[in-house]
A and B are shown apart, each in its own frame.
Chain A
């Protein structure tokens, strides 16, 4: 088969074909290379650089919250937090890693594993595993860094509360942003993992307090392991300080006064007394000096390592009920019938609507009968039986006097039956006062229409004489918050102008030590609006409220009568069915109220105190309110003479 070989034309052709193929192939490669490297090189260079850079958000220190005199109510302390980048965890051995991390940090491995699973869909956002990590744990994690891929240790800021539980519900707390909040606030620059104010002042003024997070970049390899140190691109701007209208001294006095009032109630056999609220505000502009609610809690339970047991009363319905709702801010969200503290509303409405005249005496009898069925209505004091003017009736808190006014409203027919409520609405009842924190309850001012809408049975849907009569003394369906009462009494105190309570006075630059503070923004109080009450009618009511604290028969004269600062105000004893252990259907308990102001002329402070289940207003709420005045005016009062009067 050997034969001489010659390069045949066929072979030459085929070599040529392969040569062309080779040239085309290399041509394609060169073209592609040119297109990638020279034509779009910059684009890919950018992509390559972004590949290795990870942007890290640097938390800005949150601004402090100050009282009106600059005392620090909430500040920051530095802490260490552990974050976990789920995307950087190895797929194999992820569970083991989660378990080890949970063990090191003392967390529940199951809960951490669940959190990791939930985050897998968004691996570029870290989970904050734990804030306020101990030094030993940090050291361990640093030393075993290679064994914890995806774990990042960052500096963070923790809220610090120098006054412990003081004003807890008012100040609110901060926490990691929730999924719902994130969805709502992403456009405002919030990102996952951010700290956000959850309630109270912290939530309402979060935009000022949070500051602007900084940005740093870090070079990482393809597994997310840092290859360089953090390089600052944009420094975090610390949050601004928020100055409140709250006065720490008054706030503390109010909280102590609540405890005192509850003790008094207990001493008076009102053993169910277990909470309350005190509002103190400036009647001239609505600036709130104290907003106390009891029982309370330490906001520090929300800081750092969260203890479920300690948090349960705040987050778990059943535990909260057992602890009597410490998270509830009773001053703005506690709903109570106002009882006799309501009588000035009835009086003003009655005079404005010409239902009665302040100085034409009406009978004050032990009992009165109204309606077709001659229903019996009692006065709290069965031993009085004489005609009274309005000031006298207010001073002695005569129920039958006000029943008569209520009945006269009722007798005016369908139009008359809503007139008192219209005035009540004008005074701010039945709707939030507009204070600058969230969570305010509107309360309830019952009307015939409300009855029709709310109830189903004909019996309940009817507006009876009793509805108007009970309303005149602040009972039955009427519900108010202590803040609404305080705002109303501020109107009485300042001569007829309705104020909007407010808490934040200014945003300030957190001045370094010694440098003058810089006010960035001042929150102007809403200008008071005239309520439109006749000055003569108002004068009669103010006269009555001064007598209530000073005349011989005044319900709170024993408390305020001998105090050197003239105080005007009204007691209230409101019956409310409350759930109590041992009473499946609840038990009728007296809510102890006192609302008033001082000095009686040129008022500077309105105080409204409520002791839940505290019995008579004069025996618990009034002495508690006096404590607040004592601190405000820096004048001690002689020991009150406690009587059990409405």
Chain B
């Protein structure tokens, strides 16, 4: 196996300052290409999907999305350059920042469609839970790596669950069930990669099943409703149960996906999108719109780009200079994979309906910035790892 040979010196940092060219050469260019391709493809998809959404301004959303993309690239660069060690060392600060952001949302945000997810910063609205995903992984990984080393005690596991539960609950209370699930998934991935034993992982799975059962059946049966009825319906209902109610979106979504066929109906022919049969077609159900307009071919391109990104992300785990980088990369990659699967699966009726954005495509600045930061962190790990150094 490849050994991490560098001593804990300022060498990488010095290289950044002294030899930016060398640092650039240490980036994962395939990952970068995949990221930029995804961002561009998403922008192109959004251009078609939102063309008729704002009467008189075909480019309303595209322009905003492009600006967010530019901001996101800055975030990407920053996340790449800033040493990850800072996060590892000050994971408590990162954790507190995450909690603070979530609390701020609950306290200060205005409710939009019944949920408090956005912070109004005057010109723009900011959805902290998106960036929170990255911070959450950094913080929990920091805790576990510091505490556990290579073996995870049951005690440590419980502590990690406790630490992780707080942000998850805060997100859940916004309420944003989907993002809370992403956090939980990231938490699980971090535990997985930090080296929790299989027995412990099995216990985690059991716990998850128990929580799910409690929330959906046990607690309601004794009169405690944890989820709103619409949430339960979205999680469990089949698409044919109630065509105009909770599952209306899902039915229209499946119809939109199916109607795309092999090559899609084109931008102007996509009636499900253009005539608003598909609600939220620029956000949660954006994949269905893409499927309607661009068909199987267009969707395959997107999914393959995701797969490419995930593959490169997995590779980053293996080249990480230290355990912390590997764990962070693992958590982020799995969170990313989870989002893609749940969102795309939801539009096709094989995953529960939750408000999870589709990375790089869904309209929304916070999400695009957060996803670019996520890739930036991966790039940073890669650049400081030992794959780029000696290019074996």
Interface residues of chain A, those whose CB is within 8 Å of chain B, are 1-12, 14-15, 18-19, 21-22, 25-26, 28-30, 32-34, 36-38, 40-45, 47-49, 51-52, 219-223, 227
Whether B355 is near chain A, meaning CB under 8 Å from some CB there, is: no
Interface residues of chain B, those whose CB is within 8 Å of chain A, are 1-5, 8, 146, 149-150, 189, 192-193, 195, 252, 254-262, 265, 271-272, 275-277, 279, 291-292, 295-296, 299-300, 303, 306-307, 310-311, 314, 317-318, 320-323, 325-326, 330, 333-334, 337, 340-341, 344-345, 348, 350
Task: Knowing A10-B195, A28-B345, A29-B341, say if A43 contacts B271 (CB, 8 Å).
Answer: no
B10 CB to nearest chain A CB (Å): 14
B184 CB to nearest chain A CB (Å): 16
CB-contact partner of A47 in B255, B318, B322, B334, under 8 A: B255
Complex: A18 Cα to B188 Cα, angstroms: 12
Task: Flag if B2 contacts A219 (CB, 8 Å).
Answer: no
CB-contact partner of A33 in B8, B252, B265, B291, under 8 A: B291
Which A residues touch B321, using CB under 8 A?
A: 5
Which A residues touch B2, using CB under 8 A?
A: 6-7
Task: Knowing A5-B326, A7-B1, say if A18 contacts B333 (CB, 8 Å).
Answer: yes
Complex: A2 Cα to B8 Cα, angstroms: 8
Task: Knowing A49-B271, A220-B275, say if A30 contacts B303 (CB, 8 Å).
Answer: yes
Task: Flag if A222 contacts B275 (CB, 8 Å).
Answer: yes
Complex: A43 Cα to B149 Cα, angstroms: 56
A88 CB to nearest chain B CB (Å): 13
Specify which of A33, A44, A221 lies most central, judged by the most chain B CB atoms within 10 Å of its CB: A33
Task: Flag if B261 contacts A38 (CB, 8 Å).
Answer: yes
Complex: A48 Cα to B276 Cα, angstroms: 12
Which A residues touch B150, using CB under 8 A?
A: 8
Chain B interface, DSSP helix/strand/loop, else mixed:
helix
Complex: A29 Cα to B296 Cα, angstroms: 11
Which A residues touch B146, using CB under 8 A?
A: 1
Which A residues touch B259, using CB under 8 A?
A: 41, 44-45, 47-49
Specify which of B146, B295, B341 lies most central, judged by the most chain A CB atoms within 10 Å of its CB: B341
Specify which of A11, A22, A36, A221 lies most central, judged by the most chain B CB atoms within 10 Å of its CB: A36
Q: Which residue of A lies closest to B279 (CB)?
A: A222
B50 CB to nearest chain A CB (Å): 16
Task: Flag if B314 contacts A37 (CB, 8 Å).
Answer: no
CB-contact partner of B314 in A1, A2, A19, under 8 A: A19
A89 CB to nearest chain B CB (Å): 14
B27 CB to nearest chain A CB (Å): 20
Task: Knowing A5-B4, A22-B314, say if A40 contacts B277 (CB, 8 Å).
Answer: no
Which A residues touch B272, using CB under 8 A?
A: 48, 51
Chain A interface, DSSP helix/strand/loop, else mixed:
helix
Complex: A471 Cα to B251 Cα, angstroms: 76
Task: Flag if A37 contacts B3 (CB, 8 Å).
Answer: no
- What are 16 of the A-B contact pairs (CB < 8 Å)? A5-B323, A8-B150, A11-B318, A11-B326, A18-B334, A25-B337, A33-B300, A33-B348, A41-B258, A44-B254, A45-B259, A48-B256, A48-B271, A48-B292, A49-B259, A51-B252
Task: Flag if A22 contacts B310 (CB, 8 Å).
Answer: yes
Task: Knowing A30-B303, A223-B276, say if A44 contacts B257 (CB, 8 Å).
Answer: yes
Task: Flag if B314 contacts A52 (CB, 8 Å).
Answer: no
Question: 8 closest pairs, A vs B, by CB?
Answer: A44-B258, A41-B261, A48-B259, A221-B275, A5-B322, A5-B4, A36-B258, A45-B259
CB-contact partner of B262 in A8, A19, A37, A221, under 8 A: A37
Task: Flag if B344 contacts A1 (CB, 8 Å).
Answer: no
Task: Flag if A4 contacts B3 (CB, 8 Å).
Answer: yes
Q: Which residue of A lies closest to B341 (CB)?
A: A25
Complex: A4 Cα to B386 Cα, angstroms: 12
Q: Which residue of A lies closest to B317 (CB)?
A: A15
Which A residues touch B340, using CB under 8 A?
A: 25
Complex: A8 Cα to B275 Cα, angstroms: 54
CB-contact partner of B318 in A7, A22, A37, under 8 A: A7
Which B residues touch A10, using CB under 8 A?
A: 195
B360 CB to nearest chain A CB (Å): 16
